[in-house]
Amino acid sequence: MSARKPLIAANWKMYKTPSQSSEFVTAFLPLVQDRTRDEIVLCPPFVDISAVVAGTRGSNVHVGGQNMVWQEEGAFTGEISAPMLIACGCTHVILGHSERRQFFGETDETVNKKLHAALKHKLTPIVCVGELLAEREAGKTEEVLLRQTAKGLAGIAADLAHSIVIAYEPVWAIGTGKTATPEMAAEAHHIIREQVARSLGREIADGMRILYGGSVKPENAGALMRQEEIDGALVGGASLDPHSFSKIVLY
Residues that bind ligand PEP (CB under 6 A): 11, 13, 169, 174-175, 213-216, 234-238
**C-alpha span between 211 and 233 (Å, rounded):** 5
**Least separation, in Å, of the C-beta of 87 and ligand PEP?**
25
- Angstrom CA distances, 135 to 16, 131, 174, stand at 33, 6, 15
**Sheet strands (E) in 84-207:** 92-95, 124-129, 165-168
Of 169 and 231, CB closest to ligand PEP:
169
**C-alpha span between 80 and 96 (Å, rounded):** 15
131 CB contacts (<8 Å, ≥6 apart)? 140, 141, 144, 145, 170, 171, 172
Q: Is 169 a catalytic residue?
A: yes
Of 44 and 236, CB closest to ligand PEP:
236
- Angstrom CA distances, 179 to 97, 171, 220, 244, stand at 17, 10, 9, 17
Q: Per the residue annotation, which of 39, 62, 92, 97 is the catalytic one?
A: 97
Q: Classify residue 103 as left (phi > 0), alpha (psi -120 to 50) or beta.
A: alpha
**Least separation, in Å, of the C-beta of 145 and ligand PEP?**
16
Q: Per the residue annotation, which of 99, 131, 135, 169 is the catalytic one?
A: 169
Which DSSP helix (H) or strand (E) runs through 114? helix 108-120
The answer to whether 192 and 166 have CB atoms below 8 angstroms apart is: yes
Which backbone phi and psi does 43 adopt, to 5 degrees? Answer: -115, 90
**Least separation, in Å, of the C-beta of 196 and ligand PEP?**
20
Of 63 and 234, CB closest to ligand PEP:
234
**Least separation, in Å, of the C-beta of 216 and ligand PEP?**
5
Residue nearest to ligand PEP as judged by C-beta position: 236
Rounded (to 5) percent helix, strand, coil in the chain: 50, 15, 35
**Least separation, in Å, of the C-beta of 238 and ligand PEP?**
6
Of 70 and 212, CB closest to ligand PEP:
212
Burial (Cβ within 10 Å: 0-12, 13-18, ≥19) of residue 36: exposed
Of 204 and 242, CB closest to ligand PEP:
242
| Residues known to be catalytic | 97, 169
